[in-house]
Amino acid sequence: MASIELRAIEKWFDDLQVIKGVDFDIDEGEFIVLVGPSGCGKSTLLRILAGLEDASVGSVLIDGDDVTDRLPSERGLSMVFQSYALYPHMDVAANIGFALKTAGVGKAEIEARVRAVAKILRLEPLLDRLPKQLSGGQRQRVAIGRAIIREPKGFLFDEPLSNLDAALRVNMRLEISRLHEQLGITTIYVTHDQIEAMTLADRIVVLNEGEIMQAGSPRDLYNLPQNKFVAEFIGSPKMNLMPAEMADGKLRLLAETPRTVGLDAMPPDIAWLGVRPENIMLCAADDADDSMITGTLSVCEYLGSEQFAYVDCGFDEMITVRVDPAEELVTGTMVGLRFDPNARHCFDQAGKRL
Ligand SMILES: Nc1ncnc2c1ncn2[C@@H]1O[C@H](COP(=O)(O)OP(=O)(O)OP(=O)(O)O)[C@@H](O)[C@H]1O
Ligand SMILES: [Mg+2]
């Protein structure tokens, strides 16, 4: 277990700056999930931590020691890559146990530890197989096994579940969670997947274009996004964001035809009103008053345990509303949308939370 500190990290590839001054402290035993759009620098940051890539500027500290100039093997971290490579001529057991063998651990102990890891990852029936005899998902589990067995000071995971099918992903997510609870090893985990981020993280770090947009607990990020980027990025389906302004003391939503909405105490320099799908109530269009807006119900998505209505209110994007799945929706009809006055998010022109 280790604490990890990133100090003013910058990374340039020639004249392209992909990491723009990242400062971040990770506590011992914490599970950090790094999320952000493709190309925002997640893998680069992880590789800098691991020592596989040099930072152009800044330093990395592990347990207070500056390891910036140390080799990957001297940092005590284990990494599972987005694209992993197994030793093709070794069976699963040998692949998993390889790091112990090179470290001079005895045969009996290696066997016992390989068994324990194989049990955790449900690889027991596959220990004699070669990598080419495995599916993509099975190979990925072997790669995770190789990282786990070293009992490192820290785990670095780069989208380790991206090749798995949906059911196995859920299983592996729970396994990783359980593993973390069991071993308590400091973990930094990169993913695109909302659910992985929300369920695994002690803290989520949202990265965009090489900068941290916000870091905090899943609840903090969901309930108090500090900017429009995080508001849209965390949550699925995403938060509705409507361009807005204050006019004569009233909130005006800037749809094709602007509409005034009776929401109290709005900040004067509001430029965007954000409302999550579960904080909008769908109602009949004919009880229209100024506490709601109307639109055409364009698409419904029925998912069994929940249901989403997509309503065209004349904004660039449709408004998403979560609806009780028992309700039968008819597309093409006019509906009213009532916003929960206590669950709104206001942002200024620059996208900063007000
Ligand atoms: N060796 C390199 N030379 C030049 N540019 C690079 C190099 N490696 C990465 N980049 C660029 O740096 C940026 C960040 O890449 P990185 O792989 O860290 O993104 P990512 O957030 O992991 O994306 P993804 O989610 O798609 O894996 C990208 O714009 C990428 O094109
Ligand atoms: Mg990546």
pLDDT in tens, 125-136: 999 999 999 987
21 near 75, Cβ under 8 Å?
A: no
Count of the separate structural domains present in the chain: 2
Same domain flag for 117 and 254: no
Which residue puts its alpha carbon closest to atom 8 of ligand 1?
A: 44
Q: Is the pLDDT of residue 25 over 70?
A: yes
pLDDT at 16: 95
**Section 111-136 average pLDDT:** 91
Q: Can you tell me the distance from the alpha carbon of 273 to that of 293, in angstroms, rounded to the nearest whole number?
A: 13
Over residues 303-309, the mean pLDDT reads 95
Q: Same structural domain for residues 152 and 273?
A: no
**What is the 43 CA–ligand 2 centroid distance (Å)?**
4
Closest ligand 1 atom number to CA of residue 13? 4
Band the pLDDT of 292: cuts 50, 70, 90: confident
Q: What is the pLDDT of residues 200-218, one digit of tens each?
A: 999 999 999 999 999 999 9
Where b means 16+ CB within 10 Å and e means fewer, 66-86 reads: ebeeeebeebbbbbbbeebeb
Query: Is there a single domain that holds both residue 244 and residue 225?
Result: no
For ligand 1, atom 1: residue with the closest CA? 13
pTM: 0.90
Per-residue CA distances from 351 to 88, 148, 229, 232 (Å)? 50, 41, 7, 11
Out of 108-122, 252-266, 310-324, pick the least confident. Answer: 252-266
Is residue 249 domain-shared with residue 192, that is, in the same domain? no
Indicate whether 279 and 343 sit together in one domain.
yes
Looking at the structure, tell me whether residues 337 and 291 fall in a common domain. yes
The average pLDDT across 106-113 equals 95
Is residue 293 located within the same domain as residue 217? no
* CATH number of the domain enclosing 206: 3.40.50.300
Residue 62 sits in the same domain as residue 144 = yes
| Confidence band of 286 (pLDDT split at 50, 70, 90) | confident
Ligand 1 atom index nearest CA of 42: 21
First to last CA, the chain: 38
> What lines the ligand 1 site, CB under 6 Å?
13, 16, 18, 36, 38-44, 82
Ligand closest to 158 (CA) is 2
Q: Which residue lies with its CA nearest to atom 4 of ligand 1?
A: 13
Q: Which amino acid is at 98?
A: F
Residue nearest to atom 18 of ligand 1 (CA): 41
Is 200 in the same domain as 251?
A: no
Among 232, 247, 272, the domain-final residue is: 232
Range of the domain at 100: 4-232
The domain boundary, picked from 178, 199, 232, lies at: 232
pLDDT tops 90 at residue 321: yes
Hey, whose CA ends up nearest to atom 26 of ligand 1?
A: 38
Q: Residue 40: what pLDDT?
A: 95
Same domain, 225 and 241: no
Q: What φ, ψ does residue 319 adopt, rounded to 5°?
A: -90, 130
Residue 304, in any domain of the structure: yes
Indicate the pLDDT class of residue 82, thresholds 50, 70 and 90: low
Kindly state the average pLDDT of the residues 244-253.
Answer: 91
Same domain, 168 and 284: no
Which residue matches tokens 């066997």? 111
Contacts of 73 (CB under 8 A, 6+ apart): none
Write down the pLDDT at residue 6. Answer: 97
Edge-first strand listing for the sheet containing 65-66: 16-26, 4-13, 57-62, 65-66
Which of 7-11, 151-155, 270-274 has the lowest average pLDDT? 151-155
């389906």: which residue's tokens?
A: 237
> In sequence order, what DSSP letters do the residues of 159-215 get, joined into one string?
STTTTS-HHHHHHHHHHHHHHHHHH--EEEEE-S-HHHHHHH-SEEEEEETTEEEEE
Tell me how far the alpha carbon of residue 160 lies from the centroid of ligand 2, in angstroms. Answer: 11
Helix (H, G, I), strand (E, B) or coil at 1: coil
Q: How far is the CA of 158 from the centre of ligand 2 (A)?
A: 7
Does 288 have pLDDT greater than 70?
no
Residue 164 scores a pLDDT above 80: no
| pLDDT band, very low/low/confident/very high, at 165 (cuts 50, 70, 90) | confident
H or E stretch covering 260: strand 259-261
Q: Distance, CA 190 to ligand 1 centroid (Å)?
A: 13
In a domain, 278, yes or no: yes
Q: Do 196 and 336 lie in a common domain?
A: no
Q: Residue for token digits 């500090």?
A: 226
User: Is residue 301 predicted with pLDDT exceeding 90?
Assistant: yes
Instruction: Say which ligand is closest to the CA of 39.
Output: 1
Domain end (from 206, 232, 258): 232
Q: Which two tokens stand for residue 114?
A: 């390989």
Identify which of 234, 89, 94, 81 has the alpha carbon closest to the alpha carbon of residue 158.
81
